[in-house]
Structure 1
Amino acid sequence: MDVVLIRHPAVNVDAGVCYGNSDVPLAAGPETSAETLAMRLATLQMPAPRVVLTSPLTRCATVAAALAGNFGCAASSDDSLKEMDFGDWELRRWDDIDRAMLDAWAADFEGARVHGGESVAQFVARVRAWFDVFEQTRELSPAYVVTHAGVMRVIAALTLGLTIDACLPWVLDSGALVWLRRNDATMKWAIVRWNA
């Protein structure tokens, strides 16, 4: 089973702004972004998709629709593939968020909801529920999943048996490609490419 996780391309948001679950625009048009991604996918010899799955947020869904058109397959969105909801911190500069609130979040990284949005545990549970269903649907392979860095790290942690905090330092650039492959005989996942 092959799945290629695609982080949305760069967004038109100032650096240092928390935009998690907010619907923000792309910096470039989705067709241009999809063409660039398709060329990289081909250069890296990633398998063509049977389906393109996506977060419904514009920065993902518009690129997914264009990619699906390029590959002649269907695109399907799922709310479970949205980035984590940062509640009151959405669209605020990280530097403007009260340091005590950030410290409280760090002190209980998985359980805290000081921002009023999702806790990391809730976010992981949401992505895990989606992935558990996806993993049982072999006819979707190979699949492209156009989503967000947080979702990609959760899926990596799930497939590799790691904790989410172990995957946090792993770099995921805008437009990053991550190719995961499961050996269906052993049911073990491996990273073929990371941040390609």
Structure 2
Amino acid sequence: MDLVLIRHPEVAIEAGVCYGQTDVPLRCDVRDLAVALTERMKALNVPACVDGWHASPLVRCASLAQVLSADVHLDARLSEMHFGAWEGRAWDSIDRALIDAWAGDVEHARPHGGESLAQFAQRVVAWFEATCVGRGAVHVVAHAGVMRVLAAHLLGISYENALQWSIDFGGVGWFRCVRGEWVLVRWNA
């Protein structure tokens, strides 16, 4: 089985804003991005999608997925982490003590009132287990957080460590299950 994760394109908001599940527009025309992404995936020898395209229902993911395939399964479990009261706020406007409290227990704290990392991961992993087990090749257009959580789950590393992994807008993460073990084929390709 192959799982191909694609981060959504760049969004049209200021840098430094926490946007989690806030539905924000894209900076560029998604059709041009889809053409470039398709060419890049062919050059990387990414397997063709045989078991369906899946995406977060947020516009920044769904719009790209719907250009890439006429048959996309939108699933709210693939939405980015919900940051509660921090949604739409500049990170530097959030009380530093709240951010420190979150950093002190990044997996379970939720000073913003939204999801904890553990709750978010549970939701994303539930999608994976319900959708991907026993499939051939699944392609997903999602968010950086979703990609990092799935990488941690598949590779057996801590969620906190995976949060540090860089992934560009439009970046590809490709995983393959070989003899029951998941391996990372490409990250941020």
Per the alignment, residue 103 of structure 2 pairs with 106
Per the alignment, residue 23 of structure 1 pairs with 23
Q: Which amino acid aligns with 1:160?
A: L
Matches within 5 A, 1:160-179: 160-179=155-174
Per the alignment, residue 152 of structure 1 pairs with 147
Q: Please give the secondary structure, in 1, of the residue aligned with 2:69.
A: helix
Structure 1 Cα separation of the partners of residues 186 and 105 of structure 2: 32
Structure 1 Cα separation of the partners of residues 21 and 85 of structure 2: 11
Q: Percent identity of the aligned residues?
A: 51
Structure 2 Cα separation of the partners of residues 36 and 85 of structure 1: 30
Structure 1 Cα separation of the partners of residues 156 and 115 of structure 2: 22
Whether 1:182 and 2:183 are equivalent positions in the alignment is no
Q: Which amino acid aligns with 1:44?
A: L
Size of the aligned set, in residue pairs, is 188
Structure 1 Cα separation of the partners of residues 87 and 80 of structure 2: 11
Q: Which amino acid aligns with 1:12?
A: A
Structure 1 Cα separation of the partners of residues 43 and 102 of structure 2: 41
Structure 1 Cα separation of the partners of residues 180 and 26 of structure 2: 36
TM-score norm. by structure 2 comes to 0.96
Structure 2 Cα separation of the partners of residues 168 and 129 of structure 1: 19
Per the alignment, residue 59 of structure 1 pairs with 60
Q: How far apart are 1:136 and its partner, in Å?
A: 2.0
Gaps of 5+ in 1: none
Q: How far apart are 1:14 and its partner, in Å?
A: 0.4
Q: Does the 8 Å contact 2:132/2:138 carry over to 1?
A: no
Q: Please give the secondary structure, in 1, of the residue aligned with 2:182.
A: strand
Structure 2 Cα separation of the partners of residues 75 and 134 of structure 1: 13
Structure 1 Cα separation of the partners of residues 64 and 134 of structure 2: 23
Q: Does the 8 Å contact 2:107/2:160 carry over to 1?
A: no
TM-score norm. by structure 1 comes to 0.93
Q: Which amino acid aligns with 2:164?
A: P
Whether 1:194 and 2:187 are equivalent positions in the alignment is yes
Structure 1 Cα separation of the partners of residues 137 and 132 of structure 2: 11
Please tell me the root mean square deviation across aligned C-alpha atoms, in Å: 1.0
Structure 1 Cα separation of the partners of residues 26 and 18 of structure 2: 15
Structure 1 Cα separation of the partners of residues 88 and 53 of structure 2: 28
Gaps of 5+ in 2: none
Q: Does the 8 Å contact 2:55/2:65 carry over to 1?
A: yes
Which whole-Å deviations, capped at 9, do the CAs of 1:10-66 have from their partners, x for residues lacking one? 000100000111100111122112111111111111111121100000000010000
Per the alignment, residue 4 of structure 2 pairs with 4
Whether 1:94 and 2:95 are equivalent positions in the alignment is no
